[in-house]
């Protein structure tokens, strides 16, 4: 289908009340075999030069990849919203065009500012899709992550959403994070985990790290996506990650997960910025590479409102970010410690039990931590430069701010230059993710992110990296505490 024809059909939808915007370089020949649909209700983000959406669209132009943002100006009801307006778009798509459905606020296109490399990256994406669906040609590929599970899954067993014979819905998922849909240590969580871990092993013959479905990224052809939506039958308020996981439980042939992080890359927010931001640069003219799998997925995702990682990755690709690895840090004298430098004590999760691999990971993690400490020093210099260059520093309020930050920066220099082993969560409020908890659907981490009630630790040995045992990790990155599991309203 030619771009002009597609634009005409979109025009018909727009006249019918659908809200969306397309982004492409009109002077370039767009690819006609694949396009991206991104759901976003805030139309201002496309105009913000520092937003991840803006960066995605700009790099999409480099790759000649058409991007359509839909949902603008629409009222938000829940995680199921995007599926309500998706089907009319799919109805007008060329049946031979692969559709990538992506979130808009926490994903980036993993291509450098180099047209040839970007084109090869998209070509590789298409080939991997064919490989993953070779034995299930009508399947939709969805991203996989290392974290489980959204709080809605604590309230329902995997078999309860769908009738295995009629394919009709049997029950509805609650809205994760709402008062009636908070996480608790349910037997259902264990059942979900066992199901997805066993499925991953049966499919791959291995124990990959990323085995749990994450609904933030998926790809399929229009007819297959429409079939998925018809069976999904999701309401706007429902948690899509729970419902899609339930659909996969009953009808595994309809969904294939990208266990190898080949198409879609999910970062691992519970491990902190250093160890959990698992993609790193290979140079100015190359895509970012996964530090453990060695893959270069086309689209990278930072679930759990892991915006500090997202902005680091944008800058690694040469983009301009919102620098959220700096903003919102309460104690500048512990910037390095605050952002996740001591997660290595629990790197050997159950799924990574192979001792040789664990040893390799721990060795590489140490190297990454040293590299990242240097990056943090660069960030400190950036903060100093911003403050020194800020206007009106002579005013009383800004002078006080400058003095305060200078003191914190000087303290931070000492932290950065200290030995890595001395950096840990226990000395700061971020050992419990407290101050970030309120913005993350993966958990409020305590009393709405203001107290030390979401600390790391395990019930198995009562080890604890913060101050209390309320809202602790339960067993090797698997569950996330009584009140701290996926309880916020912004997950992806």
Cα–Cα dist 238/384, whole Å? 45
CA dist 281 and 173 (Å) reads 39
CA angle 176, 177, 180 (to 5 degrees): 85
* Share of residues in the chain with pLDDT > 90 (%): 53
pLDDT score, position 73: 81
Q: Is the pLDDT of residue 454 over 60?
A: no
Omega prior to 149 cis, within 30 of 0: yes
Q: In this predicted model, which residue has the larger pLDDT, 31 or 46? A: 31
Share of the chain above pLDDT 70, in %: 61
Task: Dig out the tokens for 139 from the structure.
Answer: 């399947």
pLDDT in tens, 87-131: 999 999 999 999 999 999 999 999 999 999 999 999 999 999 999
Least confident of 221-225, 257-261, 441-445: 441-445
Q: Retrieve residue 308's tokens.
A: 């500090």
Which residue, among 147, 234, 228, has the nearest Cα to 481 in the 3D structure? 147
What's the mean per-residue pLDDT of the chain? 74
Higher pLDDT, 377 or 27: 377
DSSP tag of 157: -
Residue 77 is predicted with a pLDDT of 87
Give the pLDDT confidence of 279-297 residue by residue, as tens digits. 999 998 999 999 999 999 9
Pairwise CA distance, residues 179 & 350, whole Å: 32
Per mean pLDDT, which range of 23-37, 190-204, 428-442, 477-491 is the poorest? 428-442
What's the pLDDT band for 74 if we cut at 50, 70, 90?
Answer: confident
**CA 99 to each of CA 55, 71, 89, 129, 213: distance values in angstroms, whole numbers, following the listed order:** 20, 16, 11, 11, 18
Question: What are the residues whose beta carbons fall under 8 Å from the beta carbon of 391, sequence distance 6 or more?
Answer: none
**Model confidence at 317: pLDDT above 50:** yes
Cβ neighbour number for residue 96 with a 10 Å cutoff: 10
pLDDT at 386: 58
| Complete domains list, the chain, with CATH | 1-323 (3.90.550.10), 332-427 (no CATH)
């Amino acid at each position: 289908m030619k771009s002009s024809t597609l634009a005409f059909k979109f025009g018909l939808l727009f006249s019918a009340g659908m809200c969306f915007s397309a982004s492409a370089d009109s002077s370039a020949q767009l690819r006609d075999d694949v396009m991206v649909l991104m759901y976003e209700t805030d139309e201002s983000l496309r105009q913000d030069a520092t937003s991840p959406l803006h960066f995605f669209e700009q790099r999409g132009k480099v790759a000649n990849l058409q991007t359509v943002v839909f949902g603008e100006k629409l009222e938000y009801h829940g995680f199921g919203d995007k599926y309500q307006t998706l089907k009319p778009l799919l109805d007008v798509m060329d049946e031979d065009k692969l559709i990538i459905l992506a979130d808009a606020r926490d994903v980036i296109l993993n291509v450098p500012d180099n047209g040839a490399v970007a084109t090869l990256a998209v070509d590789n994406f298409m080939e991997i899709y064919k490989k993953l669906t070779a034995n299930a040609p009508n399947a939709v590929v969805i991203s996989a992550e290392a974290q489980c599970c959204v709080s809605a899954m604590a309230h329902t067993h995997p078999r309860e959403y769908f009738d295995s014979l009629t394919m009709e819905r049997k029950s509805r998922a609650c809205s994760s994070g709402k008062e009636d849909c908070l996480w608790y240590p349910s037997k259902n969580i264990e059942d979900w985990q066992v199901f997805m871990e066993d499925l991953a092993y049966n499919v791959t013959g291995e124990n990959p790290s990323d085995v749990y479905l994450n609904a933030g990224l998926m790809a399929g052809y229009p007819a297959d996506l429409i079939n998925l939506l018809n069976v999904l039958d999701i309401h706007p308020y429902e948690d899509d990650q729970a419902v899609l996981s339930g659909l996969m439980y009953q009808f595994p042939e309809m969904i294939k997960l990208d266990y190898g992080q080949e198409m879609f890359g999910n970062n691992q927010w519970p491990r902190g910025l250093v160890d959990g931001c698992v993609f790193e640069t290979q140079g100015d003219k190359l895509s970012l590479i996964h530090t453990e799998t060695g893959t270069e997925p086309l689209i990278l995702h930072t679930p759990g409102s892991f915006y500090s990682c997202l902005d680091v990755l944008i800058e690694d690709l040469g983009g301009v970010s919102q620098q959220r690895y700096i903003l919102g840090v309460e104690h500048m004298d512990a910037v390095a410690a605050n952002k996740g430098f001591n997660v290595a004590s629990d790197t050997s999760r159950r799924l990574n039990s192979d001792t040789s691999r664990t040893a390799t990971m721990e060795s590489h993690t140490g190297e990454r931590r040293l590299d990242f400490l240097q990056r943090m020093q660069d960030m400190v210099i950036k903060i100093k430069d911003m403050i020194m260059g800020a206007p009106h520093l002579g005013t009383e309020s800004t002078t006080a701010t400058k003095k305060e930050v200078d003191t914190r920066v000087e303290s931070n220099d000492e932290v950065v230059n200290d030995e890595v082993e001395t950096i840990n969560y226990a000395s700061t409020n971020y050992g419990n993710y407290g101050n970030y908890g309120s913005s993350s659907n993966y958990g409020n981490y305590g009393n709405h992110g203001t107290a030390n009630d979401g600390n790391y630790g395990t019930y198995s040995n009562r080890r604890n990296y913060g101050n209390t045992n309320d809202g602790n990790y339960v067993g090797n990155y698997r569950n996330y505490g009584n009140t701290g599991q996926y309880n916020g309203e912004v997950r992806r």
